[in-house]
Amino acid sequence: MIYSRKIEDLHHQLAKVEAGAGSSTLHKEMTMNEKLKRLAAYAVARSQEASTWRGLTLIATGFGAIISPEKQEAIITAGVLLAGMLGAMLPDKGKRDVQ
């Protein structure tokens, strides 16, 4: 009698899952997985832009100047130099080399 009740409960739960009632957790996980894929695609797309690298260089330069005030002039000079080199060497988005 106890086993038949447990089997009935399992069949009832299985019917709910097949009907979609128990799939909300799975749906949330798939949604989160999709969001992570989109975030990764966005990050990759931004990493291919010259302005992203210039911006990251300037941010790092600013933090370096704050962390080491005694070397501030050298850090700022090197950071601006690197940002300028990146701007000159990396192509702008959508522009191709002239052939």
- By the 8 A CB rule, do 57 and 86 touch? yes
In this predicted structure, what is the pLDDT of residue 17?
Answer: 64
Residue 23 is encoded by which pair of tokens?
């799939």
Q: Which residue has the higher pLDDT, 30 or 55?
A: 55
Which pLDDT tens digit goes with each residue over 11-53? Answer: 677 677 666 655 555 555 668 888 888 999 999 998 888 889 9
Nearest to 58, CA basis, from 31, 50, 39 = 50
- Please return the burial class of 61, using the count of CB atoms within 10 Å of its CB with bins 0-12, 13-18 and 19+: buried
Averaged over 70-76, what is the pLDDT?
A: 91
Q: Is the pLDDT of residue 60 over 90?
A: yes
